[in-house]
Structure 1
Amino acid sequence: MAKRAPKKYPSLRFFITVTIMIIVGLVLVLSVGFYYIKTSSILRKTSRDSIVRELNQVNDTIQDQVEIIDSIIPLFMSNEVIQNALENPGAGINYPFSVERQMSYIYNSSALSEKNFTDSIYIYNSRSTVYHAYTSGILENVDDTSEFLQSTIDSANPHLMCYTSPLHDQNMYFARNLYSSNSGNRIGMIVININAQKWIEYCSKTIDPSWFIMLFNKEFSLSSDSDFSKDQLLDLYSSLTAQKNSVLFKEQSFGGRDYFMASQSLERLGLTSAVAAPKDLLLENLNSTLKSYLLVTLAVALLSLMAAFIISRAVTRPIDTMIFHINEISKGNRSALPPEGFYQEFRVWAQSFNQMLLQLDTYYQDIYQQKLLIKNAEIRALQSQMDPHFLFNVLNTIAWKAQMIDNEEIYEMVISLGSLLKMNTLSRNHNFTSISIEMEYVRLYVYLQQMRFEDKISCDIQIPEQVLSCEIPCLSIQPLAENAIVHGLEPKKGKGHLIIQIIEGDDSQLEICIIDDGIGFEVIPDIQSIASSEKDSHTHIGMKNLDKRLKLLYGPDSGIRITSIPNKCTTVSFHIPRKEFTHDI
């Protein structure tokens, strides 16, 4: 089976850089979108306001021109010749040229002639006699126009009326019925023929050249932009019809181009006026501004990329240094510890790592010392080793001979020494035993010492029954009892007393105390610094080894403690956790 290639993971620097770029990019995209939407909304509102304002201005101009047209009608009525032709229709037949000459004179002296968008003027009397005056060089069929006007104009309407004629697409007709100042009866009507194309061009002088205005109704359509056909304008009219006295604003596709359009109904004229502005030109500023904003955004993105690289490098550089030192340590270079001069988090990390290394060194050193102690003990045991079976056989022989001569004391001593040697030999391969077994070993040793010194040493053992089954390190009480007898009680003049005591603590601890009333210590010594000699090297080695074993097994607080009042009381103690022993020796 083919070995699977190890999975590759992205570096932290790559992750930080990409994350920052994604966040910055997302923020920039959102800001560009927000900027475009907000700016577009503002420009649309501004465009709407501008177009509506232009529409109102165009409508005001149209209203002003209508007022001017309406204002010259009284001038014609105030002329005596024209008034006589209307009041006396029979007399006016004899001098039509005089009436038409007066009509031309009045027009040329009025403000309307300055505008130059009037083609002709018609006046009709009650007998439908036509008085016609040209005001421009454009000729028209007067009979056809007269017939249309007389059949179309409402003779009962007293107000100014506006009409468009299918005969002339470029003309608008403003008509008013005329009434006698004497009788108040209708005596005729006056019609002013306006060239609509010239009129709308005049009204569009104030707007932007790229914009255009339109005038239309169901039958009539007119635009200041000559590129649009009549059919196109009539199709547009159906979608721009506004309600009375309100302005309609909308976007409209027209002639292959999008426009912003505003329209309003002119009730007096029966027409709808509209102003249109190309959408792309109005939003051109938005696009140019957006381009500038995008350039700024690109610059910000580049700066963000640089900042992301710098930030990721600043964050990952101490990590890279840490990894380098850890790799050095893994190669066995234990002197290459991580430095502690980074950010607070890395400083804490480095300190913790260094502390861990020190603890590992201590741990391995403790293990090494423990193995060394065991090896030294094995070497010493080998140095003094004799065949155990030989010793036991010899001791049994001596005990048998002592019993043959009825010397019970020698017999008991030899039997105790044999048991002591046997237990010592068996305990070499075990680290722990029970307190009851350990105390059997101690009792044998104390008994032999009592036999040696006869009545000089007495011993009192104070151990609760319930702790005899608890676990204790092998040979942990005997070295202390031996040290108390050899160094405390043996040098003392007179009798001495030894107490072996185990106290149950409230925190599941057992405290083992060896108390004697020997010579004691003037100064409490450091156990590991006690110097050995040829005479007492065995007891000192036992004390030191026990202290080290206790600290290795239960921690530094479990070492041997010594308190002493010289020649009165000396106590050597240690404590261990209370734990039931589960293996027999």
Structure 2
Amino acid sequence: MKMSMQKKIILFFICLVTLPILIIYMLVSNIFIKSTQKDMTTIYAANIREVGKNIDVILGSALDLSIYPLMEQNFKAFLTASVQSSNYKKIKKNAGDILLSMPYGYTSGIHGVSITNMAQDSLKTNINTKLTSSDMNEAGRLNGSPYWDYSKSGLRNGYLYLTRLLKNPSNISQHIGYVKLSISCNKIQSSILQNQQDNQTSYFIIAKDDRYIIRSDNNNYLENQRTSLTYHRLSRLAASKKGSTIIDGHIVSAYPLGRTDFIIYSITKPEVLSAVKHSFYLNMAIIFIIVLIFSLLLSIAFSKIIMTPLERLGHYMKSISNEDFTVRYPVKGSDEISVMAEHFNNMAERLNFLYTEVYMGELKLKQSQLDILQNQINPHFLYNTLDTIYWMSRMGDNENVSIMVSNMSRMMRLTLAPKTNDKIQLSQELEHLSCYINIQKIRYGKKVTFELQYGEEITGEYVLSFLLQPLVENALVHGLSNCLKGTVKINIYEQEDTIYYEVSNDGEPINEEEIDNILNAADKSMKGFALRNINERIKLKYGDNYSLTCYREAEFSVFKIVQPKEAIHYDKDTNCG
């Protein structure tokens, strides 16, 4: 026997109210405990994050300071100078004077720094930073990565040591010395205690080999939990979204210390909140009876209100299925049925439009593909430039930082300016390229020479936007990256109704077959992304007769773009310099 929709709605309302209340009635105690535990773990997870971020500041300062000698000219001179040179003593004295004014102090937890060249001649500010053969061996094994020595961190007034092998920034295969820093464990302990959640909470910092660097154990939790709280288990907890859990009745919260392999975690066993639940059960029983009666009355009324318009709407949907897209449901009011009817009308109108406007839809799809490719290109350069600006600002090169920021700002203004299409003036394309070249001249100095040639008569032409800069960047990154010196030539010219871009470099020769495979590969991997993106944009806009090609000409690798001329012209406006 089939049940009508009205009876189904009544039965549904009864089950909807009765079953959840019965389940809640049986499980309320467990839910109450789980909710309390969740709130407590959230509180302690927030606390360990706050404590961990303060420790991150101390360890991050040490890591930053360990690469400072590579950026300071006097230190670099001391590390690279020969001890037999006539001015070696002067170089060492200048470096020693700078060492005394380096940006560290007791407030950051760094108590000493030593800098040692490959001749094992040292500059140091504290006797406890003497470089040992073990330090050199471990730092050399890590090949420039930081080596942490926490063998003395558990002693009274103990220290955590950081040693790093220094490489010549101009020739990373050349080792030029070592830097060693001592970090006060008392300072780390003090930072932890300043943010301690309560007296029942203990804090620990553990290394990857399960050795403890810092112990702030007020309740002897460590002895009870040593076997279960391994580094591997804590690292998974720290990487989880919650960052806190309950193990054997204890709340354990973990946080990964950034830029290191260390993990800080806390253990606590707060007093469990208890409450009398009898009144809650009584109130729930009363509410259950009232809601059950109300649901019976409401289900009957609701079934009548909703069924009539739904049946009518079903009739109109059947018309749509028979390809009658002209039907419209009369909308009255603003309730859910009316909203559904309005959506139905919108769907019918849209289907009618799509049914009659297929050709226009195909054109819009093609333009959407072009927009997607353009949006992928726009931010490509930003990520490569910010790092250079950061390091130059760290080294105090304010003039060049100002030039780079000004040019990058101009580039971003051009790139992010509202556009009605993907075409711009050639003068704007040249402005965008000039800003990029100005930035690269600062980065590469005399290592790279740029030559730009174009005719003034074509600067007002309307061209596809931002194609030159990715090609020049490709020449720098893939052509000249392994060369001591090189040249990048950009030649722009016209022949009849066609505009040509030629970007060439005299660096590492290209593999024409490999480039051809990248441009025509079905696999959209990141390798060759910029070149493939340019080629796809040109083909989507102008068809297969226009594209990006490459070839060898004498000692130069040449990338060539061909695109048709437009009839629209604009005045020049180039403001980068």
TM-score range, shorter chain: 0.3 to 0.5
Higher RCO (Cα < 8 Å, 6 or more apart):
2
Q: Which structure has the greater CA radius of gyration? A: 1
**How high is the TM-score relative to the length of structure 1?**
0.36
